[in-house]
Structure formats: C-alpha cells, structure tokens
Structure 1
Amino acid sequence: MSYQNQPQQPPQQPPPGWGQPPMQPPGWGQPPMPPRKNNAGKIVGFSCLGIVGAFVLLAILGSLVSSGGDTTAKSGGKTAVASEKPTKAAEKAEKAEKEEAAEKPKKADPKPKPEPAAAGPVKVSAKKATFTPGVLHDGGKYTSVSITIANNGDKPINVNPLYFSITDTNGTKHTAELAKDERQIDTVDLAPGENITGVVTGEGEFTAKYVTYTDGLFGDPVRGNVS
C-alpha cells in the first residue's frame, strides 16, 4: 500500500505543559535542614564537673584545717603537760619535805645551863683528882674532883662541901659525900679576893664533866668544867 499520494498533515502540537517537569510543591525538593546542635548537655556536664570540683576542694580544705587543728591541739596538750610537770614535781618535793619534817623527832629544848664561872663574882675551877680514902671511908668506890673557888665579888661567900655537886659525862648528878676523901674542901667564909682549894667526892666510879657550886639554898649556881 502506497502512502505517497496521501497529503501530508501538519505536525501536531503537544499539549501545553507536556515535556516540562512536573511542578513540585514548594520546599519539596530542598535538602532537609541539619538539626541544630543541642548545647544543654554540655552545660549540664560542665555544671556537674564544677560541683564535683567544688566538693573536692572543700574536702581538701577541710582535711588541712582538721590536721592543723589536731597539730595545734597536740602542741597545746604537750605545752600543758610540760607546764604541769614542774608544778607536780614541786608539789611532790614539798610533800616529801613535809613528811620528812614530820618524821624527824622534835628537838627537846635544851636545859638552861648554869652561869659560867667567869660571868659572876664567884669563879669555880675543877680538875680530875685521885681518890684518897679518909677516916670515914667504908671501902666503897668513889670519885674525887679537885676544886678551886675564888671570890671575885665585893661580898663574902660561904663555902661548904654540901654546896657542891658533880655531873658525869652521862648527865648523872652526884651529890658530895662527906669525909670520904681526906682532902675534902673546908667549910669557910671567903672574903672578897680570897680563894680556897679542896676535894669534892661523889659515890661510884664515873667520869666527871663539871662541878656546880650554889651559895646556900637560894644562891645562883656557878659551874666549872672538869679538865
């Protein structure tokens, strides 16, 4: 079949809009916006780190303060103990002294000593002598002392063997024994400036320490040490 004789028809026009890309809704073909970065997490993280750091710092400061206080307390305690030691030592020493003083026996008041021979008008000198039996010696043991008595006053004094006594080294007092020694001192009155020597005898064997003379019953005693 031949188409050469058929008349040519003009080319047909495509309908309007054909061949054009279809219309897209506004914003459809645009790439999606990237999500915004959220900084809230970072802020929270930094806040937590700050809080933790603050707690750590406070803990360190607290430990330093505590250690300093302990050191001060210890040093203060040591100072207090050191200051208390001398006080306690002084108290112990004082207590020991009081106890020692309480244990010591109280010293007895010394007996009044007779007036020295040179202090008054009468002077008594004495020395050891050998016992020489007299007419009234009964065979017993006796001790004799040779005595010299001088009147240095301005009044006469009476001398009598009974006015003398002998005290031995043990403190025992021996009264004079009459007529036991043939050299017994005489009974006389001594005028001022006069003196007399004789023997005074005591019963028993002893070591004479001093001789005491008393003028009469109310006179003052005068002592002479035995040499």
Structure 2
Amino acid sequence: MKKTGPALLAVLTVLALPACGPTVGQNSPDSGSGKGASSAPAQNGPRSEQPKEGDTPVDLFARKTAFTPGVLHDDGDYTSVLVTVSNNGDKEISVNPLYFSLTDTAGTKHTAALAVDKNQIGTVKLAPGEKASGTITGKGDFTARYVTYTDGILGDPVRATVG
C-alpha cells in the first residue's frame, strides 16, 4: 500500500501558494511586466472609493463597456465592465479575474465569469507604478453598480463605482 499523504500535501501546497499573494523579495522592476494586459487607463470612469489618491496601494477605475464574446461564450447573457487597476503602493500586487466581483443596482453580487469576454483582464503581477486594464464579466443581463477588487484572499477590498 502506497503512502499518498505527503504527495497530496505537496500538491495542495503548490496549488494554494498562488492564492496567498506575492512573497517577500519579488519586487524587482521586471517582475510585473503586465504582459497580456493593456496599460491604457479606463477613461472617464469613476475612481475607486478611497480617501485620497496615493493613500492606498491600489487605485481602481471602472466604466461600462460592451460585452465582446470570447472563446468560452455559451450564447447566454453577460455584463462586462472595463476596469483599470493601478499599483500606487511600494509592493508588488497580483491581478487576477478571480479577485474581482460585480455588484448590481439591486445589491446582488456577481462573481467573475472566466474567459467569456475576449477582453478579460489578464493574470499579472504589477510592480509599483504599473497598471493593467481589461474587462470583468458577470453572467446575466444586469446593470453593474460597483466593481470590487481584492489582492488575493487576505487583501483589503477596493471598490469603484461603475460610470
């Protein structure tokens, strides 16, 4: 009989580590190139609801955008929001579509539907001063009111009003 406990623990550890966010010592200038994500800001979108620019490590912009069907679109209804995440802090942050949610005008929270919009925000690491843009998409036809971003599982949430 084989002992699978240590192997299973190793696999679970490897799968759980990326969800914990960046580790100490990964703040090199080339580590957050943002490949696969546009660096253009979402123009005319409301700013994140934070005290003052520069007071928080993450700035979030959000505005309405048209849904553009991607490879996993299943002919259902979807709602997309264009977001721009800016790293104003002094540490690297992680951006991942799974770190976002949409809240509609009725207060219902929608998780991100993955790969249904061809302009989906990429999974990238942002060094201080970098930004990434792309869409966050929720299943269904609704009016998005807020976008919420959390850096990893334990990060502080940042919310922006959708303009």
Name the CA distance, whole Å, in 1 between partners of 2:59 and 2:153: 18
Which structure has more relative contact order (CA 8 Å, sep 6+)? It is 2
Contact 1:158 1:190 in 2 (8 A): yes
Contact 2:102 2:138 in 1 (8 A): yes
Shift of 1:136: 0.4
CA RMSD of aligned residues (A): 1.4
Higher helix share: 1
Residue aligning to 1:151: 87
Counting only pairs closer than 5 Å after superposition, residues 6-155 of structure 1 correspond to structure 2 as 116=50, 118=53, 119-155=55-91
Q: What code does the residue aligned with 1:196 have?
A: A
Q: Mind listing any 5+ residue stretches in structure 1 that lack a counterpart? A: 1-113
Contact 2:87 2:128 in 1 (8 A): yes
Q: Mind listing any 5+ residue stretches in structure 2 that lack a counterpart? A: 1-47
TM-score (norm 1): 0.49
Shift of 1:143: 0.2
Contact 2:49 2:161 in 1 (8 A): no
Q: What code does the residue aligned with 2:162 have?
A: V
Secondary structure class of the residue paired with 1:125: strand
Residue aligning to 2:40: none
Considering only CA atoms, is the larger Rg found in Structure 1 or Structure 2? 1
Residue aligning to 2:139: 203
Shift of 1:223: 0.6
Secondary structure class of the residue paired with 1:162: helix
Higher strand share: 2
Name the CA distance, whole Å, in 2 between partners of 1:137 and 1:122: 30
Q: What code does the residue aligned with 2:50 have?
A: P
